[in-house]
Chain A
Amino acid sequence: MNFVKQVWHFVLMELRLELRLKYAIAALSMYVLSTVYLVYFSLEYQGVLEDMEATIWSIFFWLIVLFTTVNVTFQSFSKITQGRMLFYYTLVSPQVFILSKLIVNALISLVLSIFTGMIFIFVLGNPINQSFIFLLSLCLGTVGYSLLFTYISGIAAKSGGNSALAVVLGFPLSIPLLSIIVKLFGESFNAQVGLNFDNNLLIALGFNLIPLLLALILFPYIWRD
């Protein structure tokens, strides 16, 4: 109970800090907006926007979500100053710290990816036939990415590297989840779900759970310098 309460308060505090720095959220939203428009204009210029296939839609969507998630998770670690880290050491256990980081990052990237999805529907058209599947796979994919990249960003930030290191470390590991999620996501363009849907859903859930458990187990070893 104490653990849950601690996590809850920590999450609230993190969210409050995040919202107080309005420019951070605004910058991420701008990041999403300008990338979507970049995609829009490049497609428009090529003249493929009118009869664009849904797969292109989903590819661009997931690439943007991927990069946004990396940015969200990396900045959540890189902005922590040495002094604040010392404060955390004395205040909470590493599990509480990483769990609340995971939750906060998942929430923020979820909000951003839903935002991305909305702009995509406005700007690039709406190929979605089953909105429930769309939302489900969007949630699973975004949360899975943010779980994975939160831990990877923790490592990258500890090593004193930049966000490029987080990308290098994380992208190979994100391919498995990506391949499953794109499959699930593609189902939402069809009128009905395919044969292996349940199976794929379970695997996607598994790829959400594995990084979560590993992060909880491994983070205590790396969080003190």
Chain B
Amino acid sequence: MNNFLKQYWWKALAIVLLLFAIIGGLWVPLYHGTEDLSFPNLAILNESIRNLLYHVPMWFAMVFLLLLSFIYSISYLSRPTIEKDSYAAGFAEIGILFGALGIFTGMIWAKSTWGAFWTNDPKLNGAAIGMLIYLAYIILRSSVDDEVKRAKLAASYNIFAFVMYIAFIFVIPRLTDSLHPGNGGNPAFSSYDLDNTLRLFFYPATIGWIALSMWMAGLWIRANNIKRKLDENEI
């Protein structure tokens, strides 16, 4: 992982893909009957369908980072090294950042389609709870001074929280109606109404955002590692 974080090719790929998604996502017109290359023109969504290239990939990036954090926590408990702990913490922190971005983009989208920034939607609440859980994780980390103890407790909380959270995310939306596509008789975006044009931009955007989030998380983790080493040397 350490070597992977230092490589350049996927960072360049991230920027290229995101450039492609941003330019293309705004350039391509909606379907009005004549265009060859167009996005689907859906009733309520209208032009805001372009948010699909931001909102959804950001959630994917968050889930991806939190998953990495979870994996590093497991691997810490089975074979403790302080590096694994800093990986778990860094991925979780940048994961929260992308979660917040996902919430912001979602709120703006909700305002223009559902009429309110916040609706009582199980997925929204799930997202909010997820943010709370991981903020609690950060508070737990900051409340313990001893490095080894902190790593141990944080890892065990992280595993506990992630499993509970995933169970929640998968179960709860099935209980009540959701305004989100594909639930409760909403016009399905199922398979995202992804017509091929949208897909052409959606997949690059997903990979691009995930890679960008990895880049940021990598920098954050490496900076923290350097800081820790400098502190140790001082002592």
Contact = CB atoms under 8 A, between A and B. Distances in A.
- Asked whether the complex places CB atoms of A and B closer than 8 A, the reply is yes
Interface of A: 151-152, 155, 158-161, 165, 168-169, 171-173, 175-176, 179-180, 183, 196, 199-200, 203, 206-207, 210-211, 214-215, 218-219, 221-222, 225
B101 interface: no
B149 A158 contact: yes
Interface residues of B, number: 28
B149 A225 contact: yes
B162 to A, nearest CB: 10
Interface in B143-200: 143-144, 149-150, 152-153, 155-157, 159-161, 163-165, 167-168, 171-172, 175
A196 B165 CA distance: 22
B175 A218 contact: no
A206 B160 contact: no
Given A172-B132, A210-B163, A210-B164, A155 B171 contact: no
Contacts of B132: 171-172
Contact of B171 (A196, A206, A214): A206
A225 to B, nearest CB: 7
Interface of B: 77, 125, 129, 132-133, 136, 139-140, 143-144, 149-150, 152-153, 155-157, 159-161, 163-165, 167-168, 171-172, 175
Contacts of A176: 129, 164, 167-168, 171-172
B139 A165 contact: yes
6 contacts: A159-B150, A160-B143, A172-B136, A176-B168, A211-B164, A218-B156
Main secondary structure of the interface of B (DSSP, over half): helix
Contact of A222 (B133, B153, B171, B172): B153
Contact of A169 (B144, B157, B171, B175): B157
Given A151-B160, A159-B140, A206-B167, 8 more contacts: A169-B140, A172-B132, A172-B133, A180-B175, A203-B171, A207-B167, A218-B160, A222-B152
Nearest to A213: B163
A189 to B, nearest CB: 19
Contacts of B129: 172, 175-176
Contact of B160 (A161, A207, A214): A214
A207 B144 CA distance: 28
A178 B159 CA distance: 21
A183 to B, nearest CB: 8
